[in-house]
């Protein structure tokens, strides 16, 4: 007897929802992974890369740098960023605002400052010298501008410091730049002082934003309360270097205090951290705990602070968190958020692209095997969607399709190559490089990808494209011996700026390390082999460690259930095979459909054949439940289709993570009105008065979903429909997703997302109507239930009166 089932990876469209669905989607995701693992493409042995090819790729990376750098210098400088499509500079307060995203910009020539140390790595001393002169001449910080403390620190303070260090290095080693007298260090000190007012909080944890001129006295910062863990915990490397180089301890003292305060906020049971907190009370605002957005570089700075400063307490803290992450967040090759206080409950069913830095950090900390696995999973996501989308679900479907040419995956590829010497990582890097060349290169630089599904560009080239993405590509294809500096004597900051390990020797007399929390350190030293002894070695002199294979785990005779199945687990795959189940990927692999076949004939024994049958039945149940759950997350925009308000129809929409959920028979009703301007990204709506009490329609793009929602809420709208800006997109053909927020909880009106085809239908109806169209925003499942009940009532009446029933829902 044979039994088969087809498991679609994408159904009518779930957003993240109840934990149960998560488990189910997870399994399906893993099944897709199986298909990928079994495909011939990935099982091919890695081809070694010749010296010649590697050198050609290094030169191509160099050309990429100059293509982007020159486009910026010739068309945008002294602006902070290049807008590669309009080929001009992005200036804060001049270029139309993108909302909170623009807090990165301080009108301080950020891209140039961020690029300085890459010029030295490329060996271009002439341009470095010229660029340093420009920075000294043009860049100033006395501006009435609110900036992000985190971004200003990592991009500007870090950029200035590493350039200062390299300028002094070149003076000594290359007998050049003799005119340089530490001006960049002075500038970084000045900028550091301008960030310091943000640290005046009762906890010592810095505010998220500060006004460069007015400090925290800016009236707009009066209500400042919330920050993210990464924002507060990614200061120490730069501030310690600043203190050690200037001799002023204040920076390092403040940064250590912030790290100490954060450490105290960990959940004492799970050792995990949340992602958003209140800087005054120290209360957690968001308790999701993962390794991606909102927390990523906090972990990175714990570990690297130990490496740079040699303070054991940071290693002990890192280890405590690391163990917790590996215990609760890590699921095979995946990293899925949990709740810090309920670590067994997954809180999201998607991963964000920022977590791609994690394998690189794992390499540095000496945990290679999971690094290899997660990197491989990410590589498959990249192959599936061309680029790694900003967020992707556990079944590797797109959750948020943007790709701003981020560096994290290439960064991890670089560290894995340095640690293993495996040419596979050169091939991965080659693919990443060629993809950037093919899909992101434009005549004026490199343009971010607005949606990896369509490849549409965005008028945006972040400074990290030069300071990280291309720098890591260049390093990957360079022989370390050919570099002007010994790269192993430096720590890369989170923005890939170079800080020399020798900074530890510039101990600051006014600052001394305290050996507190001795128990943590002792716990850690008791491990065998003691990583306390191994880590410095491993970090400072990268090893050529190959993965040597692992001992097979025994299943203990217990039957493998569909719920427990993990495709990344070799034992599980073997067990499934022994049960007589074969997996075949069907249709277009990008759709991720996998068909399972079961046959007693293929089973190892009759008993295992029986187990296989049970496994298949469980899978079928799970699939059924999944489509029910998908329906639960789906939203509806419903409206009447006749004048009497008898017949109703609904268009499908997706939910959001940041707005209140409409549950059961809850709905919000109002006339629809188009936002003016349609993208709703400015400080106010021109038709704010008209929007009051209505369901506002805003188009996707130019700013975040949540900033559109905030503007609508400020204007008094009752709900928001965000319509897609990608022509032809439809919920019928692609998975629905839930819009992500920024971690704040301040939106209290429902916000739903509608693909273009559905929105086209809605706007056609709006145009046909003489009076404004009135809609209800509600759960789709509730709409269906409501329609069904109505249909039943009509049928009953029809039977009683002998007339025929009408179909309540019209085809749109
Ligand atoms: C960079 O600015 C830094 O790497 C930061 O830590 C995370 N985000 C960007 C790149 O994606």
**CB within 6 Å of ligand 1 — which residues?**
154, 297, 354, 406-408, 464, 468, 494-495
Specify the ligand 1 atom closest to the Cα of 155: 2
CA 401–ligand 1 middle distance (angstroms):
18
Give the model's pLDDT for residue 523.
40
In eight-state DSSP terms, residue 10 is S
Specify the ligand 1 atom closest to the Cα of 230: 6
CA 495–ligand 1 middle distance (angstroms):
6
CA 666–ligand 1 middle distance (angstroms):
40
CA 568–ligand 1 middle distance (angstroms):
28
411 tagged catalytic: no
Q: How many CB atoms lie within 10 A of CB 704?
A: 19
User: What radius of gyration, in Å, describes the C-alpha atoms of the chain?
Assistant: 28
408 tagged catalytic: yes
Quickly tell me which residue has 């998975």 as its tokens.
735
CA 704–ligand 1 middle distance (angstroms):
18
Give the model's pLDDT for residue 102.
97
60 tagged catalytic: no
Specify the ligand 1 atom closest to the Cα of 151: 2
Q: Which of 243, 249, 152, 229 shows the shortest CA–CA distance to 195? A: 152
Residue 284: helix, strand or coil by DSSP?
strand
Q: Out of 81, 152, 297, give the residue to mutate to test ligand 1, the one with the largest number of ligand atoms within 8 Å of its CB.
A: 297
Q: How far apart are the C-alpha atoms of 97 and 733, rounded to whole Å?
A: 33
Specify the ligand 1 atom closest to the Cα of 411: 4
Q: Are 339 and 347 in contact (CB under 8 A)?
A: yes
Q: How many CB atoms lie within 10 A of CB 238?
A: 33
Ligand 1, atom 11, lies closest to the CA of 406
Q: How far apart are the C-alpha atoms of 785 and 648, rounded to whole Å?
A: 12
Which 3-state string (H, E, C) describes 54-101?
HHHHHHHHHHHHHHHHHHHHHHCCCCCEEECCCCEEECCCCCCCCHHH
Q: What is the distance, to the nearest Å, from the Cα of residue 161 to the centroid of all Cα atoms in its chain? A: 27
Q: What is the distance, to the nearest Å, from the Cα of residue 638 to the centroid of all Cα atoms in its chain? A: 33
Specify the ligand 1 atom closest to the Cα of 297: 6
CA 308–ligand 1 middle distance (angstroms):
19
Predicted confidence (pLDDT) per residue in 293-347, tens digit: 999 999 999 999 999 999 999 999 999 999 999 999 999 999 999 999 999 989 9
> Tell me: domain 635-793, CATH 3.90.550.10, correct?
no
Q: Are 183 and 137 in contact (CB under 8 A)?
A: no
Ligand 1, atom 3, lies closest to the CA of 495
Specify the ligand 1 atom closest to the Cα of 463: 2
Specify the ligand 1 atom closest to the Cα of 300: 6
Q: How far apart are the C-alpha atoms of 796 and 809, rounded to whole Å?
A: 17
Give the model's pLDDT for residue 514.
37
CA 738–ligand 1 middle distance (angstroms):
23
Q: How many CB atoms lie within 10 A of CB 459?
A: 19
Ligand 1, atom 6, lies closest to the CA of 494
Ligand 1, atom 10, lies closest to the CA of 406
Point out the catalytic residue in the list 296, 311, 468, 724. Answer: 296
Q: What is the distance, to the nearest Å, from the Cα of residue 482 to the centroid of all Cα atoms in its chain? A: 33
Specify the ligand 1 atom closest to the Cα of 496: 4
Q: Out of 407, 409, 461, 467, give the residue to mutate to test ligand 1, the one with the largest number of ligand atoms within 8 Å of its CB.
A: 407
Q: Are 96 and 682 in contact (CB under 8 A)?
A: yes
CA 122–ligand 1 middle distance (angstroms):
21
Ligand 1, atom 8, lies closest to the CA of 354
CA 462–ligand 1 middle distance (angstroms):
10
Where are the chain's structural domains?
A: 51-506, 562-630, 635-793
Q: How far apart are the C-alpha atoms of 453 and 154, rounded to whole Å?
A: 31
Q: How far apart are the C-alpha atoms of 520 and 582, rounded to whole Å?
A: 48
Q: How far apart are the C-alpha atoms of 132 and 139, rounded to whole Å?
A: 10
Give the model's pLDDT for residue 529.
38
Q: Which CATH architecture has domain 51-506?
A: Alpha/alpha barrel (1.50)
CA 494–ligand 1 middle distance (angstroms):
6
Does residue 398 have a cis bond before it (omega within 30 degrees)? no
The response to whether 201 counts as a known ligand-binding position is: no
- Residue 3, classified by CB atoms within 10 Å of its CB into exposed (0-12), middle (13-18) or buried (19+), is middle
Residues of the chain below pLDDT 50: 1-44, 509-556, 587-592, 804-812
CA 154–ligand 1 middle distance (angstroms):
9
Q: Out of 234, 354, 360, give the residue to mutate to test ligand 1, the one with the largest number of ligand atoms within 8 Å of its CB.
A: 354
Give the model's pLDDT for residue 544.
28
Q: How many CB atoms lie within 10 A of CB 810?
A: 10
Question: Is residue 721 within a helix (H) or strand (E), and if so which, with residue range?
Answer: strand 719-723
Question: Is residue 625 within a helix (H) or strand (E), and if so which, with residue range?
Answer: helix 606-633
Torsion of CA 154, 156, 162, 167, to 10 degrees: 180
Q: How far apart are the C-alpha atoms of 130 and 136, rounded to whole Å?
A: 10
Specify the ligand 1 atom closest to the Cα of 234: 6
CA 292–ligand 1 middle distance (angstroms):
11
337 tagged catalytic: no
Q: What DSSP string describes 482-546? A: GSSS-GGGEEE-TT--EEEGGGGGS--TT-------HHHHHHHHHSSS-HHHHHHHHHHS---PP
Point out the catalytic residue in the list 80, 226, 390, 411. Answer: 390
Q: Out of 404, 406, 492, 493, give the residue to mutate to test ligand 1, the one with the largest number of ligand atoms within 8 Å of its CB.
A: 406
Give the model's pLDDT for residue 505.
76
Give the model's pLDDT for residue 574.
79
Ligand 1, atom 1, lies closest to the CA of 495
Q: Out of 468, 470, 472, 491, give the residue to mutate to test ligand 1, the one with the largest number of ligand atoms within 8 Å of its CB.
A: 468
Point out the catalytic residue in the list 80, 288, 408, 742. Answer: 408
Q: How far apart are the C-alpha atoms of 431 and 46, rounded to whole Å?
A: 13
* Stated pTM of the model: 0.64
Q: Out of 105, 291, 464, give the residue to mutate to test ligand 1, the one with the largest number of ligand atoms within 8 Å of its CB.
A: 464
Give the model's pLDDT for residue 733.
77
Q: How far apart are the C-alpha atoms of 239 and 233, rounded to whole Å?
A: 11
């Amino acid at each position: 007897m044979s039994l088969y089932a087809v498991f679609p990876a994408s159904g009518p469209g779930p957003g993240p929802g109840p934990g149960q669905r998560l488990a189910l989607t997870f399994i399906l995701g893993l099944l897709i992974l199986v298909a990928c693992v079994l495909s011939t493409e990935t099982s091919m042995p890695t081809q070694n890369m010749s010296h010649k090819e590697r050198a050609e790729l290094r030169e191509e990376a160099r050309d990429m740098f100059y293509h982007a750098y020159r486009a910026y210098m010739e068309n945008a400088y002294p602006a902070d960023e290049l807008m590669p499509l309009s080929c001009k500079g992005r200036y804060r307060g001049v270029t139309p605002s993108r909302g909170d995203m623009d807090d990165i910009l301080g009108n301080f020539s950020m891209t140039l400052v961020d690029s300085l140390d890459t010029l030295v790595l490329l060996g271009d001393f002439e341009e470095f010298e010229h660029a340093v002169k420009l920075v000294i001449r043009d860049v100033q910080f006395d501006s009435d501008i609110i900036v992000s403390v985190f971004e200003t620190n990592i991009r500007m303070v870090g950029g200035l410091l590493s350039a200062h260090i390299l300028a002094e290095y070149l003076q000594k080693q290359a007998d050049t730049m003799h005119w340089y007298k530490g001006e960049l260090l002075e500038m970084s000190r000045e900028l550091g002082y301008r960030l310091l007012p943000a640290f005046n909080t009762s906890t010592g944890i810095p505010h998220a934003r500060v006004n460069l001129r007015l400090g925290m006295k800016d009236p707009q910062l009066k209500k400042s309360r919330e920050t993210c863990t990464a924002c507060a915990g990614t200061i120490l490397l730069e501030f310690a270097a600043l203190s050690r180089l200037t001799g002023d301890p204040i920076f390092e003292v403040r940064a250590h205090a912030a790290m100490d305060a954060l450490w105290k906020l960990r959940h004492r049971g799970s050792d995990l951290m949340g992602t958003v907190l209140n800087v005054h009370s120290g209360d957690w605002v968001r308790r999701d705990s993962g390794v991606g957005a909102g927390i990523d570089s906090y972990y990175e700075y714990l570990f690297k602070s130990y490496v740079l400063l040699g303070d054991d307490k940071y290693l002990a803290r890192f280890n405590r968190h690391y163990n917790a992450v590996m215990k609760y967040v890590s699921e095979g090759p995946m990293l899925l958020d949990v709740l810090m206080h309920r670590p067994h409950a997954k809180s999201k069913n998607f991963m964000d692209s920022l977590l791609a830095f994690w394998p690189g950090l794992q390499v540095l900390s000496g945990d290679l095997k999971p690094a290899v696995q997660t990197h491989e999973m990410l590589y498959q996501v990249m192959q599936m969607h061309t680029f790694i989308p900003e967020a992707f679900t556990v079944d590797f479907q797109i959750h948020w399709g943007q790709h701003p040419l981020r560096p994290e995956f290439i960064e991890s590829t670089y560290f894995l190559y340095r640690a293993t010497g495996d040419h596979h990582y050169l091939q991965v890097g080659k693919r990443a490089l060629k993809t950037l060349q093919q899909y992101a290169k434009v005549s004026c630089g490199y343009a971010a990808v607005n949606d990896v599904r369509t490849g549409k560009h965005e008028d945006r080239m972040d400074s990290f494209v030069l300071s990280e993405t291309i720098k890591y590509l260049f390093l990957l294809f360079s022989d370390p011996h050919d570099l002007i500096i010994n790269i192993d004597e430096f720590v890369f900051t989170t923005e890939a700026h170079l800080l020399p390990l020798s900074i530890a020797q510039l101990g600051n007399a006014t600052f001394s390390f305290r050996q507190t929390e001795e128990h943590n350190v002792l716990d850690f030293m008791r491990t065998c082999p003691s990583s306390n002894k191994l880590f410095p070695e491993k970090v400072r002199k990268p090893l050529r460690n190959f993965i040597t294979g692992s001992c097979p785990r025994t299943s203990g005779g217990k039957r493998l259930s569909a719920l427990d199945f993990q495709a990344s687990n070799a034992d599980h795959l073997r067990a499934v095979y022994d049960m007589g189940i074969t997996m075949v990927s069907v249709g277009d692999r990008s759709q991720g459909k996998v068909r399972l076949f079961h046959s007693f004939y293929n089973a190892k024994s009759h008993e295992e054949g029986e187990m296989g049958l049970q496994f298949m039945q469980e899978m079928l149940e799970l699939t059924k439940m999944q489509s029910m759950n998908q329906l639960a997350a789906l939203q509806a925009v419903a409206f009447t289709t006749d004048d009497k308000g008898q017949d109703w129809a609904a268009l499908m929409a997706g939910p959001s993570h940041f707005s209140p959920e409409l549950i059961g028979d809850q709905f919000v009703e109002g006339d629809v009105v188009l936002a003016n301007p349609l993208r709703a990204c400015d400080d106010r709506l021109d038709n704010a008065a008209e929007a009051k009490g209505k369901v506002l329609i805003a188009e996707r793009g130019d700013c975040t979903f949540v900033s559109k929602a905030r503007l609508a809420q400020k204007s008094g709208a009752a709900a928001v429909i965000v319509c897609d800006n990608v022509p032809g997109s439809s919920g019928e053909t692609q998975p629905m997703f839930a819009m992500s927020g920024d971690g704040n909880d301040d939106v209290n009106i429902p916000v739903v997302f509608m693909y273009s085809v559905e929105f086209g239908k809605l706007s056609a109806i709006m145009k046909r109507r003489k009076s404004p169209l009135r809609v209800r925003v509600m759960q789709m499942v509730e709409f269906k239930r409501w329609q069904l009940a109505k249909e039943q009532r009509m049928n009953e009446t029809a039977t009683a009166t002998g007339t025929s029933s009408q179909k309540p829902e019209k085809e749109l």
